[in-house]
Amino acid sequence: MTAPFDGAPGKGAETPKDMAERLRAEAAIEPDPPASGEVTKETQIIAIYGKGGIGKSFTLSNLSYMMAQQGKRVLLIGCDPKSDTTSLLFGGKSCPTIIETSTKKKLAGEEVTIGDVCFKRDGVFAMELGGPEVGRGCGGRGIIHGFEILEQLGFHDWDFDYVLLDFLGDVVCGGFGLPIARDMCQKVIVVGSNDLQSLYVANNVCSAVEYFRRLGGNVGVAGMVINKDDGTGEAAAFAEAAGIPVLSAIPADEEIRRKSANYQIIGKPGDRWAPLFETLAVNVAEAPPVHPTPLGQEALLGLFASETVGRDVVLQPASPADMCGPDHAPKPSLEVIYDTV
């Protein structure tokens, strides 16, 4: 069976010989030479991870604002299903999420545009991926779907100096581990505090980075931001043990807490806390990705006093009587044991 001739009308069907010659001619066309000029633009894509409620959104809103004030083009993308990354940046206002907007537009037979999902404040561009309604889907899968929409909107062609991704630290979920697993970012930053749960999450993120590096990944950890630092030192000790630098320590200060609760940016040039975020902006930009050394459970617990984390507790095996009550009568085993010859 011959394929129709894709040429001028009236020339009839294309013969196998004609098709072979046409394909040879197409194959002989040399591709465009690779670009050899100096690289003039490189976007740093940085994924920030941490336990829920640890202060990622607070840190990123102030950091992105300061970076924009320093003349950088910054895009902040909230990748937490709670969709609260940009709330502080926009004074408490909710930002329409990409997933919710896409669903509404699809039902209306319309296409999503940048203006539907991306918003600006004082030079910072920001958007929220969003997630499914409660009990109606997987948050990680929502993240994957959200990035598929971003790619359709031209994500890889956007012109920014920095793209900051705010991710929940539950990297055991494939969706939340997406930037690490698929090399979507150049480096990772963890946010933690002087408490075991936030450092447990930070340690999991370091473990995920090392796991995917062994599989050929290129993402490294650039460092740690200690939030609500009360001076007890556990987070700094973790960073030292894991082999990652501390990029900034944001103190547990009443003014910071109050202004953050009122959706106020404190990382403004000239303000009291400006030097802290100016330094953080420089460290985030310049810190190279490194190989972290994840801690084992005992080493992680060892960062804290034994009475704080219950290290003196001894595991006591349970018995069948514990499980079934004091009147439990052992039942004969049904296992068949054969005599050896």
Element (H, E) at 21: helix 16-27
d(CA 50, CA 250): 15
Is 271 annotated as catalytic? no
Q: What is the CA radius of gyration of the chain?
A: 27
Do residues 63 and 47 lie in contact, with contact meaning Cβ atoms separated by under 8 Å? no
DSSP H helical ranges for 215-305? 234-242, 254-261, 274-286, 297-301
Is 17 annotated as catalytic? no
Is 259 annotated as catalytic? no
d(CA 185, CA 165): 9
Is 84 annotated as catalytic? no
Q: Which of 18, 72, 82, 268 is catalytic?
A: 82
d(CA 77, CA 166): 6
For Cα atoms 152, 153, 159, give the angle at the middle one, nearest 5 degrees. 125
DSSP single-letter state for residue 2: P
Q: Which of 18, 84, 116, 170 is catalytic?
A: 170
Do residues 79 and 146 lie in contact, with contact meaning Cβ atoms separated by under 8 Å? yes
Beta strands in 33-85 (DSSP E): 44-50, 74-78
Q: Mind telling me the catalytic residues?
A: 51, 56, 82, 170
